[in-house]
Chains A and B, each alone.
Chain A
């Protein structure tokens, strides 16, 4: 099966081209992340109105929600990159997937710990088996599995493919996991108060949240690019263009 793709797609396969393009994008994304995150944090934590029920403690959603969204988007990205890497035998796609895994895992950790911190004033307990928190915990386990798989292979190409297969299996499973966990949750805790599912948030509350989410995406892209470029250099250390960069730096 051969699917023809536009020219830029094939250029992505060239490590040097990717390295250069990503290097050009990186400072802009970093700058955007810095601006969006500063604006979002100040707006969300200082100027947004307090919640009528939870008071000020709800403000942690400005950290919690974006990291939860990113954790899921990152897994999606890994699965798509893994599929591209498998179908078109594109090394760069595998490198992107590999670089994304620890960032995604960190996002789940942030989401879980902010969820726990938020849980204390809301439910009076550090941990509650809430549907969303439980799904996030399972997502964290999936990330751990993928990272462990990468490191278990001595041959990097095999590790890439193994992780790509696992992330594809994972992405098929994630909706099933979410659905099962939600169902399980309603069975055991009928009509519980769930995090993040707020009916009709006023714009003064969700606008800073939107800014934070965008900021997180930029930050994610910025870190991902940095990691990808380092991994590219490491994998391509024997090729001419890497030596040229090293000589230039000297």
Chain B
């Protein structure tokens, strides 16, 4: 437990020292959102229609892009090796890394999302659905994505590969995440959607850390 907290503290400190790591995914999120009015149409009726999907796809891509560097530095500077040769568990490290990754990516994306929702003319009643679906959905994205990051960290060209591995696994979260917002737009109850997103989170929280730790172990052994 101490080690878990120490990992989170260290990761947050590192992120705070390299602030671009925090800002880049957020900037990416905003820029991708800004592409749609330019590419599709700036009309409120059109944008409001596709806003739930755009917001979720952009959040998903921002999370995905930030994942590539999740273990890269630790792998290259030998930090992962040092954890492997220490009596500390790689499982706790994986959980700690994912929690801190979520805090600096998904969590901040969710906080930023109302602003972008307004820019896309998302009806105000759906803002709550947007924030809550991102808060419950993005941790699952971080957990699943960390498996891909762990598998590819030892490869020279891992970036594109992570997307290939992880995107198909993201689809259920995307479906229910965007579905939540859509239901919010229509004024339908969103409790059921959030329950499903929560169930996916619990399931991935139980299983993904083992896969991440196994992936890291095999990447370090090379």
Contacts and interface: CB of A to CB of B under 8 A. Distances in A.
Touch between A and B in complex, CB under 8 Å? yes
Interface of A: 86, 138, 141-142, 144-145, 148-149, 152-153, 155, 158, 161-162, 165-166, 168-170, 172-173, 176-177, 179-181, 183-184, 187
Contact of B171 (A155, A165, A181): A181
List the 9 closest A-B pairs by CB distance, nearest first: A180-B172, A141-B168, A145-B165, A180-B175, A145-B164, A161-B218, A184-B175, A162-B151, A176-B172
B167 A141 contact: yes
Contacts of A169: 144, 147, 169, 207-208, 211
Contact of A187 (B154, B155, B179): B179
A141 B155 CA distance: 20
B172 A162 contact: no
Interface of B: 144, 147, 151-152, 154-155, 157-158, 161, 164-165, 167-169, 171-172, 175-176, 179, 200, 203, 207-208, 211, 214-215, 218-219, 221-222
Contacts of B219: 158, 162
Q: Identify the interface centre among B147, B168, B179: most chain A CB within 10 Å of its CB.
A: B168
Main secondary structure of the interface of A (DSSP, over half): helix
B214 A180 contact: no
B153 to A, nearest CB: 11
A148 B151 CA distance: 12
A153 B171 contact: no
Given A148-B161, A166-B151, A181-B171, A172 B215 contact: no
Given A141-B167, A165-B211, A169-B147, A176 B200 contact: yes
A162 B216 CA distance: 10
24 contacts: A86-B214, A138-B168, A141-B164, A141-B168, A142-B169, A144-B164, A145-B168, A149-B152, A152-B155, A158-B219, A161-B214, A162-B151, A165-B211, A168-B211, A169-B144, A169-B147, A170-B169, A176-B200, A177-B168, A180-B171, A180-B175, A180-B176, A181-B171, A184-B175
A173 B165 contact: no
Given A141-B164, A162-B151, A173-B168, 6 more contacts: A141-B168, A149-B151, A158-B154, A165-B215, A169-B211, A181-B171
A212 B165 CA distance: 32
Given A141-B167, A170-B169, A181 B175 contact: yes
A86 B214 CA distance: 10
Contacts of A141: 164, 167-168
A5 B214 CA distance: 24
Contacts of A152: 152, 155, 157-158, 161
Given A148-B161, A152-B155, A168-B211, A158 B175 contact: no
A142 B167 CA distance: 9
A144 B168 CA distance: 10
